[in-house]
Amino acid sequence: MLSTKETDQYQRHLSLPGFGVEGQLKLKKSSVLVIGAGGLGCPVLQYLVGAGVGKIGIVDDDLVDISNLQRQVLFNHDDIGNSKAKVAKLKLSLLNPNIEIIDYPNRFNSSNAENLLRGFDIVVDGTDNFSTRYLINDACVICNKILVYGAIFKFEGQVSVFNFNNGPTYRCLFPSPPSAKALPSCSEIGVLGVLPGIIGNLQALEVIKVLTGIGDPLSGRVLLYDALTQQTRMLKLNPTKDGLAVTSLKEISLPCETNQNDMREQIIKEISPQELVSIMEERNEVFLLDVREGWERAKSKISPSFHVPLGEFESSQRPVLPDSLSENKKIIVYCKAGVRSLMACQSLREHGFKELHNLSGGILEWESKGFPVS
């Protein structure tokens, strides 16, 4: 039954033909686990909480950062530095005190995945990296949970429903992780702020459709959305034998996501800000290369340095560098925090450059030591 307060709050649902009290009661009896309370997770959570899903879990070990506020509109400046999962629970409880909200301010990993999923009917993937997406998918297959998937990249997004009535899984769409070369620069890649809101709302809609039985869920189909043209395309997706054959959980480590140690050892040497200062003071010949975006460089840069954004390294052609730059020249590459510079060094190595060094911690570490920027 619905209480008087619930009846008042959900009256627009109750008066909706084909939904009504029956649909609302289905939502009240349902439970959803949302993994990731970021760009996608925020709108998913806001609309599922508003819709009256009876139990919602929030998994996220991250803290609110000022850079999140451009798209994660559940948060504000007062929340910076606090747990996303805990802040989300507090604010969402004010939106709808009639439901149960559980926060899990922990990293989703292979040791806790199955236990987390077993307490919920459906899972929403609001993460932003391939390794966690594969882990979520595999856990859903093992635990027989429906997975509502969403992803964004720059101006584009995609949505689908996996593991629904023996339908395809994420591994049917992406059988294996992409190569390191195909990976974007992770957290440092751009995205249009409103795009996660659009894709996240579509994910919330798919959850409601599955839970209430209305409409036709996006199982066996992937909705592709282009924000610049406001056009959508539908990709047909069939189940594959390998995509359904998941029997155990194994975390996948990808070069640009968390563990950079192997890449550092194989490709380049690390150089500290202090070492770079010594080199510059001794006027040793060195080529300092900044691979950040132009807008980042306009805010601050280490001088003198040459600028080539990482995007220009992602093709098979040699990046546009001075013709006089010898392949034996000592090159020190820097970015914001040391991730993009690793990718750039890998590309430079493939083009024959030998003396490659990465500025450890990037310009953030440089500035934290009090060294000058211009």
Determine the pLDDT at residue 188: 54
Whether domain 261-368 has CATH 3.40.50.360: the reply is no
Q: Which residues contact 111 (CB under 8 A, 6 or more apart)?
A: none
Q: Are 161 and 148 in contact (CB under 8 A)?
A: yes
Q: What mean pLDDT is predicted for residues 147-164? A: 94
Determine the pLDDT at residue 181: 46
3-state secondary structure of 102: strand
Helices 41-51/195-212 angle, 10° precision? 40
Helix segments in 96-231, DSSP class H: 113-118, 130-143, 170-173, 195-212
Q: Where are the domains positioned within the chain?
A: 4-244, 261-368
Determine the pLDDT at residue 251: 78
Locate 17 and state its tokens. 């033909």
Determine the pLDDT at residue 185: 43
Among the residue ranges 41-50, 139-148, 183-192, 279-288, the one predicted with the least confidence is 183-192
Q: What are the pLDDT digits (tens) for 5-33?
A: 999 999 999 999 999 999 999 999 999 99
H or E segment to which residue 294 belongs: helix 294-299
Q: What is the DSSP string of 234-293?
A: EEE----HHHH---S--PPP-TTTS--HHHHHHH-EEE-HHHHHHHHHTT---EEEE-S-
Beta bridge partners of 346: none
Cis peptide before 239 (omega within 30 of 0): no
Q: What mean pLDDT is predicted for residues 238-260? A: 73
Q: What mean pLDDT is predicted for residues 155-179? A: 90
SS (H, E, C) 303-372: CCCEECCHHHHCCCCCCCCCCCCCCCCCEEEECCCCHHHHHHHHHHHHCCCCCEEEECCHHHHHHHCCCC
- Residue 267, pLDDT above cutoff 50: no
Give me the amino acid identity at 89.
Answer: K
Determine the pLDDT at residue 191: 86
Determine the pLDDT at residue 315: 59
Q: What's domain 4-244's architecture?
A: 3-Layer(aba) Sandwich (3.40)
Determine the pLDDT at residue 63: 95
Q: Are 75 and 68 in contact (CB under 8 A)?
A: yes
Among 188, 316, 298, 315, smallest CA distance to 307 is for 298
Among the residue ranges 4-8, 72-76, 313-317, the one predicted with the least confidence is 313-317
Determine the pLDDT at residue 186: 45
Give me the amino acid identity at 90.
Answer: L
Mean pLDDT of the chain: 89
* Confidence bin at 247 (pLDDT 50/70/90): confident
Select which of 140, 186, 256, 345 is catalytic: 186
* Confidence bin at 129 (pLDDT 50/70/90): confident
Determine the pLDDT at residue 187: 52
* Confidence bin at 314 (pLDDT 50/70/90): low
pTM exceeds 0.75: no
SS (H, E, C) 217-234: CCECEEEEEECCCCEEEE
Q: What mean pLDDT is predicted for residues 286-309? A: 92
- Our answer to whether residue 42 is catalytic in this structure is no
- Our answer to whether residue 345 is catalytic in this structure is no
- Residue 236, pLDDT above cutoff 70: yes
- Residue 102, pLDDT above cutoff 80: yes
Residue 48 CA to its chain's centroid (Å): 20
Task: Judge whether 4-244 and 261-368 match in fold.
Answer: no
H or E segment to which residue 92 belongs: helix 84-95
Determine the pLDDT at residue 310: 85
CA distances from 350 to 34, 149, 314, 331 (A): 40, 35, 11, 14
Determine the pLDDT at residue 179: 54
Determine the pLDDT at residue 154: 82
Select which of 42, 172, 256, 335 is catalytic: 335
Among 253, 266, 251, 256, smallest CA distance to 180 is for 256
Distance, in Å, from the CA atom of 36 to the CA atom of 60, rounded to the nearest integer, reads 5
Distance, in Å, from the CA atom of 363 to the CA atom of 300, rounded to the nearest integer, reads 9
